[in-house]
């Protein structure tokens, strides 16, 4: 069996995603219990207990979700599609309760100024950050308001220097990998998330850039979170994993004796309300209870991975250089059989 370094994975002859790779513990661990592993980190000037951000989707991050994630030591990015943003602006909520919001390219100065006054992290929420309009908007907002800015999304590191030069503090990496995203099907564009992340991270290192990297899309389990961080991501952004929880927008629906909640992509018909440029699906997901249950599960899984990999903190985990590439049968063998 071959043990791959990050460089070798980046040079692999096929595009790889999380199900294609596995972490390989090769050292005797110093960690007696996973409780010794520390997941705290600093991200865009915020102290987080866990490097988790919520996706600014209208069925994931509303007012309640953003507040709860703040309480749990994560970062909720409030969606821009419903009245949540107006509620925050008009009610005068501050960064102690809501710390991140998303805006569109068309969002006006009146709203951005109010967000900047409360020192929110601003996410310019677009499907393609490799776009002159995105660069122009980023540069304008950064120069005028000096806020922390997240842009997205990219699948490759070729324009990372331009994004940092424009004022982006962080970039969302992943195109077409979300569970309700149909971009790759509709456009033929996209890379496996592992390959996307590595390409962006190597571009950042080779150009000595400071921009933070957010693994956005394709994460289905705490193990995928551990893989993303080990590859070098500064944080992960979650949609599907947080969907269906009590704090997500929307009502709980009872159907066939089971509880469900709605989940849809930001480019779905239900969001756009017009049948053009649809690159997202709509579905129902099983009700999961409170989002704290999900966050606790991620924290436990990440700490366990760190204990296996002999890592006391996230910086040590990001230095991981021991991976294997799984065959399809190897991946299936690792799934629980019930």
User: Is 74 known to be catalytic?
Assistant: no
- Inter-residue contact 98 to 78 (CB < 8 Å): yes
Contacts of 293 (CB under 8 A, 6+ apart): 245
Computed on alpha carbons and rounded to an integer, the radius of gyration of the chain in Å comes to: 19
The catalytic position among 41, 74, 123, 181 is 181
**Closest among 250, 217, 238, 278 to 59, alpha carbons compared:** 250
Q: In terms of DSSP bridges, do strands 212-216 and 258-264 run parallel, antiparallel, or are they unpaired?
A: unpaired
Q: Token digits for 36?
A: 């010794």
Neighbours of 260 (CB within 10 A): 18
For the chain, list the strands marked E by DSSP: 21-23, 41-43, 46-48, 52-54, 75-78, 100-103, 121-125, 149-154, 170-173, 212-216, 235-238, 253-255, 258-264, 282-286, 323-325
Q: Token digits for 18?
A: 């999380």
Q: Token digits for 130?
A: 């490799």
Q: 3-state DSSP call for residue 152?
A: strand
Rounded to 5 degrees, φ, ψ at 46 are -105, 140
Rounded to 5 degrees, φ, ψ at 129 are -80, -15
Rounded to 5 degrees, φ, ψ at 125 are -90, 95
- Inter-residue contact 16 to 195 (CB < 8 Å): yes
Give the integer Cα–Cα distance in Å for 136 and 234: 25
Give the DSSP H or E segment for 154.
strand 149-154
Q: In terms of DSSP bridges, do strands 253-255 and 75-78 run parallel, antiparallel, or are they unpaired?
A: unpaired
What is the rounded end-to-end Cα distance, in angstroms, of the chain? 28
Catalytic residues: 181
């Amino acid at each position: 069996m071959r043990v791959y370094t990050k460089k070798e994975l980046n040079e692999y002859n096929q595009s790889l995603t999380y199900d294609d790779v596995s972490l390989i513990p090769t050292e005797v661990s110093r960690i007696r219990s996973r409780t010794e592993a520390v997941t705290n980190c600093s991200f865009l000037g915020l102290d987080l207990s866990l490097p988790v951000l919520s996706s600014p989707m209208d069925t994931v991050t509303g007012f309640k979700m953003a507040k709860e994630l703040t309480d749990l030591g994560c970062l909720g990015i409030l969606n821009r599609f419903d009245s949540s943003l107006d509620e925050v602006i008009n009610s005068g909520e501050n960064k102690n309760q809501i710390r991140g919001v998303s805006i569109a390219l068309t969002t006006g100065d009146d709203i951005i100024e109010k967000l900047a006054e409360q020192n929110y992290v601003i996410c310019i929420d677009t499907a393609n950050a490799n776009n002159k309009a995105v660069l122009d908007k980023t540069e304008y907002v950064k120069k005028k308001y000096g806020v922390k800015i997240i842009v997205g999304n990219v699948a490759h590191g070729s324009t990372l220097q331009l994004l940092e030069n424009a004022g982006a503090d962080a970039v969302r990496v992943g195109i077409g990998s979300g569970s309700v995203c149909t971009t790759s099907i509709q456009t033929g564009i996209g890379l496996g998330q592992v390959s996307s992340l590595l390409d962006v991270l190597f571009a950042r290192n080779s150009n000595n850039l400071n921009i933070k990297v957010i693994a956005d899309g394709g994460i289905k389990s705490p193990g995928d979170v551990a893989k993303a961080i080990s590859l070098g991501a500064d944080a992960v952004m979650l949609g599907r994993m947080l969907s269906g929880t009590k704090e997500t927008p929307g009502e709980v629906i009872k159907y066939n004796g089971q509880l469900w909640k709605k989940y849809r992509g930001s480019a779905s018909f239900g969001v756009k309300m017009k049948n053009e440029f649809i690159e997202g699906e709509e579905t129902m997901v099983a009700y999961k209870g409170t989002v704290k249950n999900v966050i606790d599960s991620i924290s436990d899984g990440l700490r366990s991975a760190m204990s296996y990999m002999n890592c006391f903190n996230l910086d040590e985990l990001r230095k991981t250089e021991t991976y294997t590439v799984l065959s399809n049968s190897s991946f299936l063998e690792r799934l629980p059989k019930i």
